[in-house]
Structure 1
Amino acid sequence: MEKKIKLIITDLDRTLLRTDKSISNYSLDVIRRCKEQGIYIAIATARSERAAANYIKLINPDIVISNGGALAKCKNEVIYKCMLSAQVSDSLIKDCVMSSNIGEITVETESGYYSNSEEINKFGEDYTHAKYNDYSKSLKCMTYKITVEVFESKAAEELASKYPQCSFLTYVGEDWCRFAHRDATKINAINEIVKYLNINLEEVAAFGDDINDLGMIKHCGQGIAVSNAIKEILECASHITGSNDEDGVAAYIRENFL
């Protein structure tokens, strides 16, 4: 018998968010009803807090897991933080700059978001605080993640082998990969969150679609995949709901938890 769910965690892009990046009023209403019934709501996203700010304002979650699990906060209280050291970050950035098979390099730090692209505005309003940096000088600060545009996958794989202290994630269908601390995962953040809330992992339901959701889908009490999820997520999920464009997250919550 499944335990009563006390915490619902959902990924944003391609999970709670529709393909056009919107959240339906139906989904927002279901989330509001969960909170009224005492169920904690968390979002777990690869986005930074800055890039997710508009959605955080709309959803008003109890907990935000950002940067793919590198940071977890309950309101303004930090529950979990896992960053790359300044030394590793600067060395990795230098190697990326020197590679002819790597183009754009973006870096997320506590103080800001940096890119070596001169077209920073292309990122849209989610990245209004982005700063141009050609990385000719070391940043000399810890980083949440370093995301690079790769022209050949071999180049990124060589970097990954050189930095075993980093996790290496390739985004599905995109020529981008992300480097972060190997312990900066959503499930590691969730393990600290359940301690903080004094609940069990079996009392957590997690929704996701992509490879960085795998840990929470496998290890939470209920791991629910949206139907548009990648094969690995669909195969390990305990349940499958409708797609992100069908408000699959909200539909499952309403049917099973409300």
Structure 2
Amino acid sequence: MEKIKLIVSDIDGTVLDSKNNVDFQLREIISTLREQSIPFVLASARSPFGILSVAEKLGLENVPMACYNGALLGNFKDGVFYNISEHLINTEELNALLKLLSKKFPEISVNLYYGTEWVVEKLDKWVLIESEIVNSIPKIDTFIEKKAHKLLLIGNSKEIKKLFGVLQNENFKDTDFYLSKENYLEVTANNVSKEHALKELAKHYKLSLAETMTIGDNFNDIPMLESAGIGVAMGNAPKEVKSHATKITSSNDKSGVSLAIKTYVLK
């Protein structure tokens, strides 16, 4: 087995426990990783600022992060986010989707993310709920001539399910749609995934995939778990996710990430 020289970890349900607290052992362990020049990279559907709030608690200043499930890779330096790589939603398909939503699904809340920006055209109840969750306030603006790394479409579960069905029958060949919650539909370019982000990060650090370890708890983590030298599923992960992992650690409420690093990297 190759020595692990890069760790990529999911955030929610992985680094964060069931009460959204950071694994209390992890900051010290990351300090030890830094001494050994082993980067610890957070990968999430979150925005750069959404990941930064967790990164700061872990002492991960100036370390790359994979935002929007890998649609944007970069890092903060002196409060400014610098891109390493990005994958934008196809402009024509983005505009066609926004037109379809406006015409056929006006009750669906549309949230556009580009770089560090979160843009909405109006403050509806779903936006206000999301704002409370992420502790951030969106910019109110028109979507005209906007670029996007991700769209987040929110509504009641029945309407989101109906929308998902409609979109799967439309000709959006360069765009991916997936449910992150029963009433959250995420939209990215179709080459975006945590697996692709892992490969880009390995290339950035000039490493082979065999020298990487990934940690996650959910279905969208499966491809990166399968691609890494060691893919670690959390103890709280569904059985199917665990079946795709190389190793299984303890749950997010029992410092599973810290245990995995101590067992497979700092052994």
TM-score by length of 2: 0.86
Taking a change above 3 Å as real, the CA distance of residues 63 and 111 of structure 1, as seen in their structure-2 partners, is closer
Q: CA deviation at 1:58?
A: 2.0
Q: Which amino acid aligns with 2:146?
A: C
Query: 2:201: which partner in 1?
Result: 193
Give the distance between the partners of 1:31 and 1:238, measured in 2 at CA.
22
Task: Say if 2:47 and 2:116, in contact at 8 Å, map to a contact too.
Answer: no
Residue in 1 that maps onto 2:91: 86
Going from structure 1 to structure 2, the CA distance change for 1:51 and 1:68 (only over 3 Å counts) comes to: same
From the superposition, tell whether residues 228 and 85 of structure 1 become closer, same or farther in structure 2 (CA, over 3 Å).
same
**Residue number among 118, 121, 124 corresponding to 1:118 in the alignment:** 124
Q: Which moved more, 1:200-209 or 1:115-124?
A: 115-124
2:172 matched to 1:167? no
Stretch moving more, 35-44 or 122-131: 122-131
Take 1:160 and 1:31, find their aligned partners in 2: how far apart are those partners?
42
User: Deviation at 1:249?
Assistant: 0.8
Residue of structure 2 in register with 1:95 after alignment: 100
C-alpha distance in 1 between matches for 2:98 and 2:240: 30
Query: SS of the counterpart of 1:24?
Result: coil
Alignment of 1:47-58 (within 5 A): 47-58=46-57
Moved more, 174-183 or 103-112: 103-112
Partner of residue 71, structure 1: 72
Decide whether aligned partners of structure 1 residues 125 and 210 sit closer, same or farther in structure 2, where only a CA change above 3 A counts.
Answer: closer
CA contact (8 A) 2:15 2:23 kept: no
Q: CA deviation at 1:89?
A: 1.6
Residue 215 (structure 2) aligns with? 207
Matched, 1:180 2:188: yes
Q: Which moved more, 1:248-257 or 1:200-209?
A: 248-257
Residue identity in the other structure for 2:241:
I
Q: Report if the CA contact (8 A) 1:103-1:151 is conserved.
A: no
1:16 aligns with 2:23: no
Residue aligning to 2:264: 256
Q: Deviations over 1:96-119 (max 9, x none)?
A: 233348522211123621234434
Aligned to 1:107: 112
Q: Distance in 2 between matches of 1:218 and 1:231?
A: 15
Structure 2: give runs of 5+ residues left out of the alignment.
none
Could you tell me which runs of 5 or more consecutive residues in structure 1 were left unpaired when the two chains were aligned: none
- Measured in 2, the distance between the counterparts of 1:37 and 1:178 equals 37
**SS, match of residue 49 in structure 2:** coil
Contact 1:65-1:71 at 8 Å conserved across structures: yes
What percentage of residue pairs aligned between the two structures are identical?
Answer: 23
User: Post-superposition shift, 1:5?
Assistant: 0.3
Alignment root-mean-square deviation, CA: 2.1
So what's the TM-score if we normalise by structure 1? 0.89
Amino acid at match of 1:70: A
Instruction: Give the paired residue count.
Output: 253
